[in-house]
Amino acid sequence: MLDGMNAPVITASGVRRTYRGSGAPFEAVRGVDLRVEQGELFALLGTNGAGKTSLLEVVEGIAPASAGEVRVFGQDPFRQRAQVRARTGIMLQEAGFPADVRAGEMVTTWAATQSRRSDDDVLAAVGLSHRAGVAVSSLSGGERRRLDLALALLGRPEMLFLDEPTTGLDPESRRDAWSIVRDRLDDGVTVVLTTHYLEEAEELSDRLAIMHAGRIVRQGTVADIVADEPARITMTIPSDAPAPPPLLGSTQLERGSTGTRYVITTPQLQEDMYTLLSWAREHGVSIADLDARAASLEQAFLSIAASSGAAAQPEPAAA
């Protein structure tokens, strides 16, 4: 690339996906452009029914796009499935096993169907070695999720699709899963991940996109996305203190028993903090419960969900 960026592993332009059931057709993905570069972790966030899984299935080559174009490694993931699949590992949001199958058998079988062989012990990688001989029906939900991840890692794919990989995992297993994903990123693997845990996206992603009602409404690094959101200052000022100075941000007041609680939403955190603290020192005011923080991804996410909430439409369960 002329601009020095990595080569894109995934490109999508104008992707649409329409479900035609018995009722009126429903458009779950409404014109999405994407570009995921080699070796990065790209997180796809969105409210329930935003179209994340519908979009992901098109990029994974499980379903064709109703319109638009997708390329993975420069190939059409649906029409040139065989070539693309050999290089990708996919962990679906929801997939099952026959009840009688044992964890180890599932791994052996899956490995034998792949064109790339590696003798990696994927069960050990997800901490399930001791459960290899156990019927899948006897595994806990979290263990089954880890088995899903193990299968996606088999054959050392160059590209990993992880659809809500840590849903149902306890905090420790979640951290373990993160460290597995980080190891793959260190090996140069490209990862596309969807999650409902914003902390997970903040922790792992190089770039992320927020989807809403079938469209990508915000895209960039965590810093990019958070930058548009105002910071917040909260504090309590004693009732006998003089009125605080005017600030750049907007202020909401709540009267309490010990004083007045201020919630200030400001695009200029540093400036307003300076004004406030200078005023407090000058007048000898002791501010209680002072808290000042930059916007979080969660806050950005919630404000995006709220601003376009009225346009939200339900998504079919298949999506």
Partner 1 sequence: MTATTLSPARPSEGGSAVRRVVALAKLEMTMLVRNKTALFNALALGPLMVVLINSFQMPGMNENRSAFVASLLGSLVVFAIVFAGYYNLCTTAVARREELMLKRLTVGELRRWEVLTAMAAPSLSVILAQVVLGAVAVTLLVGAPTVVNPLLMLLGLLLGFGALAVLGYATAIITRTVEAAQITTLLPLAVLIFFSGATFPFALMPDALRTVAELTPLAATNELMTLGLTGTTADGGTLDFVQSFVGGLQPTIVLLAWIAIGGYLVQRMMPWEPRR
Residues near partner 1 (CB under 8 A) are: 60, 62, 82-83, 85-87, 90, 92, 94-101, 105-106, 109-110, 112-118, 151, 155-158, 187-189, 317-318
Nearest to partner 1 of 83, 251 (CB atom): 83
Q: How far is the CB of 62 from partner 1 (least distance, A)?
A: 6
Q: How far is the CB of 168 from partner 1 (least distance, A)?
A: 15
What gap in Å lies between CA 218 and CA 26, rounded to an integer?
A: 23
Q: How far is the CB of 94 from partner 1 (least distance, A)?
A: 6
Please list the helix, strand and coil fractions of the chain in percent, rounded to the nearest 5, in that order.
35, 30, 40
Start-to-end CA span in the chain (Å): 35
| SS3 of residue 113 by DSSP | coil
What gap in Å lies between CA 99 and CA 138, rounded to an integer?
A: 8
Nearest to partner 1 of 62, 292 (CB atom): 62
List the beta bridge partners of residue 28. none
Nearest to partner 1 of 116, 175 (CB atom): 116
Nearest to partner 1 of 152, 225 (CB atom): 152
Q: How far is the CB of 130 from partner 1 (least distance, A)?
A: 21
Give all strands of the β-sheet with 26-37 in edge-to-edge order: 26-37, 8-19, 67-72
- How many Cβ atoms are within 10 Å of 195's Cβ, its own excluded? 23
What gap in Å lies between CA 63 and CA 78, rounded to an integer?
A: 7
Q: How far is the CB of 136 from partner 1 (least distance, A)?
A: 9
Nearest to partner 1 of 26, 279 (CB atom): 26
Q: How far is the CB of 212 from partner 1 (least distance, A)?
A: 24
Strand positions, DSSP E, 56-213: 67-72, 88-91, 159-163, 190-194, 207-212
Nearest to partner 1 of 151, 300 (CB atom): 151
Nearest to partner 1 of 163, 200 (CB atom): 163
Q: Which two tokens stand for residue 147?
A: 């088995």
3-state secondary structure labels for all residues of 236-300:
EEECCCCCCCCCCCEEEEEECCCEEEEEEEECCHHHHHHHHHHHHHHHCCCCEEEEEECCCHHHH
